[in-house]
């Protein structure tokens, strides 16, 4: 009897394959127990990110034990874990092309993998411009200068691409030097009547040769040497894609691999590399983007105080009263 019933099922499957399989699938779906419902997840996405700035995305109430990931465009972004939320840092490079970008949030819970996409465009931001006249000989490359500059770019690119999974920094950030800022972030410079290829990708601090330069946050020395454009330079890895840069130093007081603490003296102000006077160039690079250091410092302060919201951009402007570094100090 059992054999006859089995052959009957086989025969029906051959004669009416779609009908029998559909019935089998239907039965399986009816009696499959439902997956447990996960907690609701709410995402506060920013309306836009401006060139050279960092906006925030907040992911509320992720499932306990679940995983959360986020991408802006095609790049993963850094996430800061809170008590019942996660905050993502969305950077836009100072030279990022304006236009639409996709912010993708993915998370797991008892029901499996979920995904939500948001349209978060990059918007332009005008940081102003200036015109200066300097001795053109400062930009003249001597024998082997071009080759050294290209070799330097390769080493520097590798350091900036670091993505240490652990976050070393904890806000607020400290000042890298005691002097006032003399050249603001993002400013475009016309030197001797010709526009430079890059806007200013950091802040310049006035100082005398030998004045101390301090680490703005905890981190590991990723790279340090004498480079063609930047002179004596230090690159600190603060974890999760954040790198701070200190250029034109007269003296370097750390070596690669050293662990440094916020406020520690790591070098001395100078005028090495392509520079017209003693000063410190301080830059921040986050997940592939040069960002405004002053604005990011203030953003971290708001995060620490719990007042930050998605899409907020700190107000205030760094002083820009002339330029000590008209060249490509990046």
Per-residue model confidence as pLDDT tens digits over 191-237: 877 887 788 899 999 999 999 999 999 999 999 999 988 999 999 99
Task: Quickly count: other Cβ atoms within 10 Å of residue 313's Cβ.
Answer: 18
Residue with the two structure tokens 């000042």: 175
| pTM of the entire predicted model | 0.80
Angle, helices 17-31/2-15, rounded to nearest 10 degrees: 110
Q: What percent of the chain has pLDDT over 90?
A: 55
Yes or no: say if 127 and 199 are a contact pair by the CB < 8 Å rule.
Answer: yes
**Both tokens assigned to 133:** 């006249």
Task: Return d(Cα 18, Cα 35) in angstroms, integer.
Answer: 27
How confident is the model at residue 66, as a pLDDT?
A: 84
User: Bigger pLDDT: 148 or 270?
Assistant: 270
pLDDT value for 6: 45
Task: Tell me what pLDDT residue 254 has.
Answer: 98
Q: What is the pLDDT of residue 39?
A: 52
- Lowest-pLDDT choice from 150-154, 220-224, 262-266: 150-154
Residue 309 pLDDT more than 60? no
Mean pLDDT of 56-68: 88
| Confidence label for 18 from pLDDT (cuts 50, 70 and 90) | very low
Mean pLDDT of 244-256: 98
Domains in the chain, CATH or no CATH each? 42-123 (2.60.40.10), 129-305 (2.70.70.10)
Q: Work out the percent of the chain whose per-residue pLDDT is above 70.
A: 78
Instruction: State the pairing for strand pair 242-252/231-237.
Output: antiparallel
DSSP 270: B
């Amino acid at each position: 009897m059992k054999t006859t019933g089995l052959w009957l099922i086989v025969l029906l499957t051959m004669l009416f394959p779609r009908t029998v399989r559909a019935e089998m699938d239907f039965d399986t779906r009816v009696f499959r127990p439902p997956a447990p419902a996960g907690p609701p997840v709410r995402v506060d996405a920013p309306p836009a990110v401006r060139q050279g700035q960092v906006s925030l995305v907040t992911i509320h109430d992720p499932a306990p034990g679940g995983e959360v990931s986020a991408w802006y465009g095609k790049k993963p972004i850094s996430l800061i874990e809170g008590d019942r939320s996660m905050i993502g840092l969305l950077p836009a490079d100072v030279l990022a092309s304006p236009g639409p970008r996709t912010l993708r949030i993915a998370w797991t819970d008892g029901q499996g993998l979920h995904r939500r996409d948001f349209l978060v465009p990059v918007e332009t931001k005008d940081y102003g411009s200036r015109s200066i006249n300097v001795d053109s000989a400062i930009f003249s490359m001597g024998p082997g200068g071009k080759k050294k500059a290209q070799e330097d770019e390769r080493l520097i690119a590798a350091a900036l691409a670091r993505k240490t999974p652990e976050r070393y920094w904890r806000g607020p950030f400290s000042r890298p030097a005691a002097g006032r800022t003399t050249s603001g972030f993002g400013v475009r410079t016309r030197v001797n009547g010709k526009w430079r290829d890059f806007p200013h990708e950091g802040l310049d601090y006035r100082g005398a040769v030998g004045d101390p330069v301090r680490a703005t946050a905890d981190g590991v020395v990723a790279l340090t040497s004498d480079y063609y454009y930047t002179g004596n330079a230090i690159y600190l890895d603060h974890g999760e894609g954040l790198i701070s840069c200190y250029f034109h130093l007269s003296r370097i007081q750390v070596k690669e691999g050293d662990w440094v603490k916020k406020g520690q003296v790591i070098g001395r102000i100078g005028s090495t590399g392509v520079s017209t006077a003693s000063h410190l160039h301080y830059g921040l690079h986050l997940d592939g983007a040069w960002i405004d250091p002053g604005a990011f410092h203030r953003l971290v302060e708001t995060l620490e105080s719990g007042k930050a919201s998605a899409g907020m951009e700190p107000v205030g402007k760094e002083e820009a009263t002339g330029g000590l570094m008209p060249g490509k100090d990046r």
